Amino acid sequence: MFSPLSILTYFFKNKRKVIPILAIITLSILGISVTAAINGSMWREITDRVWFYEKYYDVYLTFSSESEGSLEEYQEEVEQVDKEIKELDAVDHIIVADVQATDLMTLFGNEGARVIFVGEDDREKFVNEIGIELDEGRYPESADEIALGREMLMNKDLKVGDSIGSKIDDEESLSGEYKIVGALTYSDSKKSMKLGIGYRENKSDDLSSAGLFLLNPKDGKAEELASALSRLEDKYGVIRVNTKESVDKMIDEEFSAVSKVLWAINVVVTLTITSSIALLNVIFFMQRANEFGLLASLGYSRKFIVGRTLLESLISIILGWGLGIIFSEVVYGILNSWIFTPRGIQGLTVLESQTFLFTIPVPLAVAIFSCGTVFWKLMRMDPVSIIEKRD
């Protein structure tokens, strides 16, 4: 049997008081983590998509290679840039590629995912560097074949053997018609594969004939290459450069506004929940004033009474928070299996550092407010007025 004044006895004998507090905290954790979990899903989608910037920086012409007039106009400048890029000391290798995009449905609307067309000689180097593996089928062997990321196929409800392209679907942004011959994954299974690989027939390695130069920096020379490319971008107006730093900066700018909104929501929700739980705690405290007055009169020290009461509050808050994390993860698991995973979208989870951090202000603020109120009341308690039944 538990001691009559143990915390467990209180919890077992006061289920009607403890369960509502646990339920409020549990639901509030779910409520507050939803926005952060959606944000986290979006973040992972984007970071997975730009993962290859860890390995390759890309350079492309600011005008289309198909509009000959423009190209002729800048021919000399383009040839000079081409030459200078190829002479960069910090480059390990260059992959000459064409690029197209196909639309994918995401949480924040339709977003384009890249399909990179590389020559057969470059492909092995490219997939090994980025960590791409074949999950099914094979790599494309002709210009009318394509391999897409597993999650891309799920998102577009396609499978290996199907065809894709604007010729068979007006709304498809991938021009032409391609037979899907393979499904790709990342060797890091946590990453969602939103990249496609096509077959590049053109053997020319001139920037003017390619859509994209993919530049792999030498070990330890990533920063040097980024600076050199930035200088070339400033010097010649005909190229645009994407490096790890520039892409990260762009993502940070996009997400900082979302992050501020999320924190504002977090603060409002936390304050609302905190004040309601603190109020409930004060009501429960008032209902137990006789108990505290009695214990003090029987000789239980104020330290014991305060410690026991604060521990009760803290345990219920931590328990509620833990249950909230578990409950949220279960709810997200159900949502993921129903909605997100079948569409190849990064699922919701509370066990991601940013989302997890978002849940901490709830128990923290509730603990400070509740324990603060109870502590203040107990320290000012006059046992004599309680046992004499005075106000």
Partner 1 sequence: MLIETKDLTLEYLNGKSGVIAVNKVNMKLPETGFYGILGPSGSGKTSLLYLLSGIRVPSGGEIIYGGQKLPNSADERSRLRKREMGFVFQYHFLINYLSSFQNIMVGAVDSEGEEKTKRLISELGLDGLEQRPPYKLSGGQRQRVAIGRAFANNPKIVFVDEPTASLDHKTGRKVVNLLRNYSKEACVVTVTHDKSILEEADGVFKMWDGELERIS
Pseudo-torsion of CA 297, 298, 300, 301, nearest 10°? 40
Query: Quick check: 10 and 312 in contact, CB under 8 A?
Result: yes
Query: Does 8 participate in binding partner 1 (rule CB under 8 A)?
Result: no
Does residue 383 bind partner 1 (CB under 8 A)? Answer: yes
- CA–CA separation, 334 and 331 (whole Å): 5
291 binding partner 1? (CB under 8 A): yes
Give Cα 209 distance to the centre of its chain.
37
Instruction: Decide: is 7 part of the binding site for partner 1 (CB under 8 A).
Output: no
Measured CA to CA, the distance from residue 231 to residue 5 in angstroms comes to: 73
Helices (H), 87-179: 120-130, 150-155
Q: Whole-number minimum distance, CB 23 to partner 1, in Å?
A: 19
Among 190, 203, 303, 380, binds partner 1 (CB under 8 A): 303
Provide the H-helix boundaries in 219-243.
Answer: 222-235
- Rule CB under 8 A: say whether 62 interacts with partner 1: no
Q: Contacting partner 1 (CB under 8 A), which of 50, 294, 310, 335? A: 294
Q: Does 149 bind partner 1 (CB under 8 A)?
A: no
Question: Of 154, 229, 295, 350, which lies in the binding site for partner 1, with binding defined by CB under 8 A?
Answer: 295
Q: How far apart are CA 168 and CA 145, in angstroms?
A: 14
Nearer Cβ to partner 1, position 302 or 343?
302
What amino acid is encoded at 317 in this protein?
I
Q: Which two tokens stand for residue 5?
A: 């004044």
Q: Does 389 bind partner 1 (CB under 8 A)?
A: yes
Round to whole Å and give the CA distance between 88 and 110. 37
Q: Which of residues 96-115 bind partner 1 (CB under 8 A)?
A: none
- In angstroms, what is the minimal distance from the CB of 293 to partner 1? 7
In whole angstroms, what is the distance from residue 309 CA to residue 18 CA? Answer: 13
Number of other residues whose CB lies within 10 A of the CB of residue 28 = 24
Which one, 17 or 44, has the nearer CB to partner 1?
17
Q: How many residues bind partner 1 (CB under 8 A)?
A: 26
Q: Is residue 9 near partner 1 by the rule CB under 8 A?
A: yes
User: Is residue 167 part of the contact set for partner 1 (CB under 8 A)?
Assistant: no
| Window contacting partner 1 (CB under 8 A); options: 134-142, 249-257, 267-275, 292-300 | 292-300
Q: Which residues bind partner 1 (CB under 8 A)?
A: 1, 3-5, 9-10, 13-14, 290-291, 293-303, 383-384, 387-389
